[in-house]
Amino acid sequence: MTNQPILKVTSVARNFGGIVAVRDVSFELAAGEIVGLIGPNGAGKTTLINLITGVYPANSGSIVFDGADVTGQKPFQAARRGIARTFQIVQPFPEMTVLQNVTAGALFARQSGSITDAVEESREHLKFVGLADLAETPAASLTLPNRKRLELAKSLAMRPRLLLLDEVNAGLNPTEISGALDLIRDISARGITIVIIEHLMKVVFSLSHRILVLHHGELISGGLPNEVAKDERVVEAYLGSKFAERQRSLSNNG
Amino acid sequence: MMRRLTVPYVLFSIWVVVLCMLPFVESSYFVHLATNIALFTILAQSWNFIGGFSGYPSFSTAAFFGLGAYAGAITQNMGLPMELAWIFATVLVSALAALFGFILLRLRGHYFAIGSIAIVEVLRLAIASATDLTGGGNGMNVRFLPGGPEYVGMVFLYTMVGLMVLVFALTVWVDKSRFGFGLRCIRQNEDAANMVGINTNLYKIFAYVLSASFCGTVGAIYASWTGYIDPTDSFEILLTLKVPVMAMLGGAGTVIGPVLGAAAFSLLEEIFWANFLEYNRAILGVVIVILIFFLPRGLLNLDYHTLHRRLRHNAGRNPREPSE
């Protein structure tokens, strides 16, 4: 990778009281990549996202986004710089309509621009995620898959360069997941760098160009999906022996 | 939504005309009542910025009202012209509100409410103990405006109504602006608001200052109007409770709600004072409880549209059901 990385995380750490949630994590993201961030429950994946977006300050280490040091930034600053995220538990503005929710993203992630322009632009994003028909519905009355779509549309309206997806597929059925995957690929095709946290192995491995594995707050492995799947530390920490055996037999047969 | 806004404008205009006509058709009692209603309308509209749009239950109305009253009275007694004293009070209160807001708005929900009410007590005690400057518990007199009670009554009525129109215009602006949009986002989900790029702290402080500054002006005008203020009267806890109730009665976070609520509440209160002198507070309390129970979102939101939606909502509580 000769290009400058869009995100460079160096030795970042964060603890809550005596519990170390993220320990000495370093990685880089190249522009346009889809990177899967995996790890068992409590591995520190969401905390890492929270550190990148400024929800919590890091106790040590540095975060450089697009050449600028953003280590101590606040979430609203991250948003304005072009880092958007979705939440594991969706966070809509419940009483607002779907359209207004997306408008909030379009309006505030940039310093200027009128509400009317933001509304117009938001309609495009709603069309993109397939919610155009529900534009005037209150966000609180959406079904779960639609709320996830709304989260995506809201993030996209922020015109991010880096999009952090925290379990966008959790709670969706297989049909809904495949729809969500197509969406994520389309977003990636727009040149947006994507980090995706995901529990469903099939999803991460089919989607990601590269995988990072967190365990007990430490980055224990990273690389191409099939390399990571064979990594013994990852197998031990996360995937379990059954999955590893199946992988092995598959590669032997193939 | 934008279309429906014309109705509030018309209602408000009629209301302003009614208030302004009172000196010509009715006794001084009604002029006094109208001035009082305008006063409470300004306070309720002010509260609406922080309590309605941003959803922060502030109880500091009386703090800023009392502070404004004293700032106005003291500077006026020192020789400052009345209008300049009002402006001085507004500026001073705004500056202090920015300071208090900077500290207080780190708290949320109940904690913020308690913190905001503490400001009232702290300021009341501070004013009461600064005997040299404020006269302490004895209160202080402010020079009456010359010209006879009828003329003075009209001056204060028109000043209050003028200010009420100004704050209404400001509310309309906030309602339509990017700023107001941001405040609504904060009310509904502050973390998400921050995450889409809203500088939530700055927005909240600005809303808090906006809600305080006109309380300061009104306090100063009140001091000039009544000619006498004391700490208990100026920093009255009841005032700090009444104003949010008014705004919520009408519909918090709406443009016309606080105007409607302040008018309805003041008129109710007047009726109860006149007819049930001994039990009026008790009756008022019952009225408040009834209103909160049956009109949790205010008179304004009691329209066919919401009623219809609520009925549908109750009829089929199925979250998977598509609802157009």
- What chain B residue is nearest to A160 in terms of C-alpha separation? B196
Contact B181 A143 (CB under 8 A): no
Amino acid at B142: V
Return the half-sphere exposure (C-beta side, CA atoms, 13 A cut-off) of residue B190: 16
Contact list in B for residue A80 (CB cut-off 8 A) is 197
Q: A76 and B182: CB-CB below 8 Å?
A: no
- Tell me if B320 is assigned to some domain: no
Q: What sections of chain B are H helices per DSSP?
A: 6-25, 28-47, 61-77, 82-104, 109-129, 131-134, 149-176, 178-188, 190-195, 200-226, 231-234, 237-250, 257-275, 280-294, 304-315
B112 inside domain = yes
Distances in Å between the Cα of A56 and the Cα atoms of A49, A52, A90 are 9, 9, 19
- Per-residue pLDDT of A51-89, as tens digits, reads 999 999 999 999 999 999 999 899 999 999 999 999 888
CATH number, domain of B49, equals: 1.10.3470
Higher pLDDT, A237 or A44: A44
Q: Does the residue B272 lie in any domain?
A: yes
Average the pLDDT over B105-129 and give the result.
92
Show me where the domains of chain A are located: 1-75+163-254, 83-159
> How far A242 CA sits from the closest chain B CA (Å)?
36
Contact between chains at A75 and B195 (C-beta distance less than 8 A)? yes
Give the minimum alpha-carbon distance from B104 to chain A in angstroms, rounded to a whole number.
Answer: 19
Higher model confidence: residue A193 or residue B269?
A: A193
Taking an 8 Å cut-off on Cβ atoms, the answer to whether B197 and A158 are in contact is yes
DSSP β-bridge partners for residue A85: A164
**Is residue B87, in this structure, part of any structural domain at all?**
yes
Give the model's confidence band at B303: pLDDT under 50 very low, under 70 low, under 90 confident, else very high. Answer: low
pLDDT digits (tens, 9 = 90+) for A239-252: 666 666 676 677 67
Q: How far is B304 from chain A (nearest CA, A)?
A: 17
Q: Which of A87, A115, A158 sits opposite B181 (nearest CB)?
A: A115
Output the pLDDT for position A181: 87
Nearest C-alpha neighbor of A180 from the set A145, A139, A229:
A145
| Structure confidence at residue B302 as a pLDDT band (50, 70, 90) | low
Structural domain contains residue B39 = yes
Average pLDDT (B50-77) is 95
Nearest to A107 among B178, B191, B320 (CB): B178
Secondary structure class of B227 (helix, strand, coil): coil
Does residue B301 have a pLDDT over 90? Answer: no
- Residue span of the structural domain in which B240 resides: 3-314
Residues B6, A242: Cα–Cα separation, whole Å? 67
* Residue B319 is assigned to a structural domain of this protein: no
Alpha helices in chain A (DSSP H): 45-52, 75-81, 98-108, 115-129, 144-157, 174-189, 201-207, 225-230, 232-234, 240-253
Q: Give CA–CA dist B86/B101, Å, rounded.
A: 22
Residue B14 or residue B297, greater confidence: B14
Cβ <8 Å between B181 and A92: no
Structure-token match 């966008």, residue found: A168
Residue A206 identity: S
Domain count, chain B: 1
Q: What is the mean pLDDT of residues B188-209?
A: 94
Q: Helix crossing, B6-25 with B257-275: angle to 10°?
A: 40
Banded pLDDT at B89 (limits 50, 70, 90): very high
Which pLDDT score, from 0 to 100, does residue B320 have?
A: 44
What ipTM does this complex have? Answer: 0.85
In this structure, what token pair is assigned to residue A170? 């959790």
> DSSP for A214-240?
EETTEEEEEE-HHHHHH-HHHIIIIIH
User: Of A191-205, B218-232, B273-287, which gets the smallest average pLDDT?
Assistant: B273-287
Residue B323 within any structural domain of the chain: no
Contact A103 B184 (CB under 8 A): no
Rounded to whole angstroms, how far apart are CA atoms A103 and A120? 9
Q: Give the chain B residue whose CA is nearest to the CA of A118.
A: B178
* Stretch 163-202 of chain B: residues touching chain A, C-beta under 8 Å: 176, 178, 181-182, 184-185, 188-189, 191-200
Q: Is the pLDDT of residue B16 over 90?
A: yes
The first and second tokens of residue A137, run together, are: 């519905």
Q: pLDDT value at position B64?
A: 97
- The answer to whether the Cβ–Cβ distance between B197 and A108 falls below 8 Å is yes
pLDDT at A33: 93
Q: Which of A53, A78, A104 has its CB closest to that of B185?
A: A104
B205, burial (CB in 10 Å: exposed 0-12, middle 13-18, buried 19+): buried
* A150, two tokens: 């709304």
B170 and B52 Cβ atoms separated by less than 8 Å = no
Tally of residues, chain B:
324
Query: Cβ B194–A93 below 8 Å, yes or no?
Result: no
pLDDT of residue A243: 66
Instruction: Kindly state the helix (H) or strand (E) to which residue A71 belongs, with its residue range.
Output: none
The residue type at A224: L
Say what angle helices B28-47 and B149-176 make with each other, to 10 degrees.
20
Cβ-defined contact of A92 to B192 (cutoff 8 Å): yes
Average pLDDT over chain B reads 87
Taking 70 as the threshold, does the pLDDT of residue B308 lie above it? no
How does pLDDT run across A194-224, given as a tens digit for each residue?
Answer: 999 988 888 888 899 999 999 888 888 888 8
Between A198-202, A232-236, B32-36, B37-41, the lowest mean confidence (pLDDT) is in: A232-236
Q: State mean pLDDT over B264-278.
A: 82
Taking the C-alpha atoms of residue B299 and residue B14, their distance in angstroms, rounded to an integer, is 18
Query: Would you say residue A141 has pLDDT above 70?
Result: yes
Closest-CA distance, B210 to chain A, in angstroms, reads 21
Residues of A in contact with B320 (CB under 8 A): 143
A94 contacts B178? CB cut-off 8 A: no
Contact between A147 and A171 (Cβ < 8 Å) = no
CATH 3.40.250.10 corresponds to the domain A1-75+163-254: no
Residue B318 has pLDDT above 70, yes or no: no
Confidence band, pLDDT 50/70/90 cuts, at residue B137: confident
Provide the pLDDT for residue A42. Answer: 84
Q: Which residues, in sequence order, are CB contacts of A134 under 8 Å at separation 6+?
A: A98, A126, A142, A146, B324
Q: Which residues contact A186 (CB under 8 A, 6 or more apart)?
A: A128
Percent of chain A with pLDDT over 90: 55
Is B196 within 8 Å of A154 when comparing Cβ atoms? yes
